[in-house]
Amino acid sequence: MRVLAVAVPAAGHVNPLLPLVDALVAQGDEVVVAAGEDPGGAIARTGATHVVAGGTELRWIEALRARVRGFPGDGLAPERINHYFVPRVFADIAAVDMIDDVVACARRFAPDLVMFETYAFAGPLAAAIIDAPPVHHLISPMLPHDVMELVNDALSPLWRSFDLHVPGYGGVYQGLTIEVAPPSLEPLSVPAGERIGLRPAPAPLRPAEPSEPPLVYVTLGTFFGGNTEVFGAVLEGLTGENVEVVVTVGADNDPSLLGPVPGNVRVERYIPQAELLPGCSVVIHHGGSGTMFGALAHGVPQVVIPQGADNFVNGEHIERCGVGLAILPADLNPDEVRRCVRAVLGDAAFTAKAAELAREVAAMPDANEVARELADRFGR
């Protein structure tokens, strides 16, 4: 089977596809990943072929900045961030930038299916152009449907340029959708097409063994890892608390930028989450889907400090499900961090609900199962 996968060129968009890409390659399928770049060489390590399609997120943001004569999204309420950025950056700019490269690749490769992550809107259009089955790989809980309706409007001229009509929701739900959120976390239903589940994080390497004193893991992911102001508020809030703290700032950032830290704090560039999470009692993070799903898979309560993109929606989901709390940027201060961590550590209901969602994640099909199902459906 030949699979063309299409992704926005950023770790948070490419990496969620890679477990399935890896499983497809392992079962003998030929996989090409079309993205503007291969973040950290992650695509190459799966054995898939990387084809450059379009530019980078930074270039797209700069293009939007040139249009608006200011900082894109400046002054937006958190609940409107996706409504603003997803249509403008990923539909108006990114899809247009990527589509010719993706279509050229698709015509050369002649895939049996075109798989794409939610924000890679060139994917469903390319599938329609070459008449290949579209497979939508969610990388987080679904974006609100009204956001996708705005995306649909933004994409209409691009689809029309190929003598096609955009079929609703940017075309992403026309075929099979692979859902990655456990049922309790996902408030929406797939509006069209079929759906199957896929476990969003690997199974834990070992059973949970929370440390004593409690271990608090702090990360802002790969994109926001240089935000020393957020790290500073968190560390000041946890100074003097009966906890051990591990902070990772990202491979491209310098731990020394955080300056002197309390004795109960350890700062590193990177530690595999699978090593840390079994011993954690709380994870403080930015609301990125990778960290959120990893913590859920290990049954660890969370404190979310959203920084952008879908972080705010993920923070809302975490609070709604009862597995943690969220602190909006305007409310971030050391006292609020301390209050939230104490609340999560002091209420067993958070741990119980996190354990419930961990069981939901464990019950979802793994990447090998989904790869076999795709082969059964679409293989020649």
Amino acid at 6: V
3-state secondary structure of 248: strand
pLDDT tens digit sequence for 182-220: 999 999 999 988 999 999 999 898 888 888 899 999 998
Q: What are the tokens at 240?
A: 């003097």
Number of domains in the chain: 2
The model's pTM: 0.93
Q: Are residues 349 and 370 in the same domain?
A: no
Taking 90 as the threshold, does the pLDDT of residue 380 lie above it?
A: no
Tell me, yes or no, whether 244 and 342 share the same domain.
yes
Q: Quick one: 252 and 167 in the same domain?
A: no
- 220 CA to centre of own chain: 13
The answer to whether 281 and 215 are in contact (CB under 8 A) is yes
Q: Say if residue 36 is in the same domain as residue 152.
A: yes
What CATH number has the domain bearing residue 282?
3.40.50.2000
**What is the rounded distance in angstroms from the CA atom of residue 239 to the CA atom of residue 34?**
45
Same domain, yes or no, for 93 and 225? no
17 in a domain, yes or no? Answer: yes
User: Could you read off the pLDDT of 223-260 as tens digits, one per residue?
Assistant: 655 567 888 999 999 998 999 999 998 877 777 788 88
DSSP secondary structure code for residue 364 in this structure: S
Residue pLDDT, tens place only, 11-55:
889 999 999 999 999 999 999 999 999 998 999 999 999 999 999
Phi, psi of 179, deg, nearest 5: -90, 140
> In this structure, are 159 and 220 located in the same domain?
no
Report the chain's C-alpha Rg in angstroms. 21
Pair 301, 353 in one domain: yes
210 in a structural domain: no
For 14, the domain range is: 2-199+364-378
- According to the model, what pLDDT value does residue 201 have? 93
**Residue 34 belongs to what H/E stretch?**
strand 30-35
Residues 319 and 341 in one domain: yes
Of the candidate ranges 160-164, 259-263, 287-291, the one whose mean pLDDT is the lowest = 259-263
Assess whether 193 and 151 both reside in one domain: yes
In the prediction, which pLDDT does 42 show? 94
Has residue 205 been placed in a domain?
Answer: no
Q: Which amino acid is at 287?
A: G
Q: Is residue 298 part of a domain?
A: yes
> In residues, how long is the chain?
380
Note whether 59 and 101 are same-domain residues.
yes
Is residue 152 domain-shared with residue 17, that is, in the same domain? Answer: yes
Which ranges in 162-247 belong to alpha helices (H)? 228-238
Is 37 a domain residue?
A: yes
Q: Is 75 exposed, middle or buried (0-12, 13-18, 19+ CB in 10 A)?
A: exposed
Q: Is the domain of 7 the same as that of 133?
A: yes
Place of tokens 């309390």: 262
